[in-house]
Amino acid sequence: MQFKDYDANKIADKLKQVLEFEAKYGENTTSKGWKKWCNDINYRRNEWQWRQNLANWNSKHNTNNY
């Protein structure tokens, strides 16, 4: 599976939402992370890769037999 970036309009909408949140409540670690995600394609690519690796690991090691 290959990384496919999100639509630029959706990213811009999320960034606007984050900036409105920060104007109302102030900056916090979550909003800082979202801003970085919105502004850095490498950050989004790395986050995507991390989720893929986590899913792959779980598919191989999850032994829940309910």
pTM: 0.79
In this structure, what token pair is assigned to residue 31?
């909003």
What pLDDT is attached to residue 66?
A: 59
> In the chain, what are the domain boundaries?
8-55
What pLDDT is attached to residue 40?
A: 97
- What is the CA 5 to chain-centroid distance, rounded? 11
What pLDDT is attached to residue 41?
A: 97
What pLDDT is attached to residue 28?
A: 98
Question: Tens of pLDDT along the chain (66 residues)?
Answer: 899 999 999 999 999 999 999 999 999 999 999 999 999 999 999 999 999 999 999 888 876 755
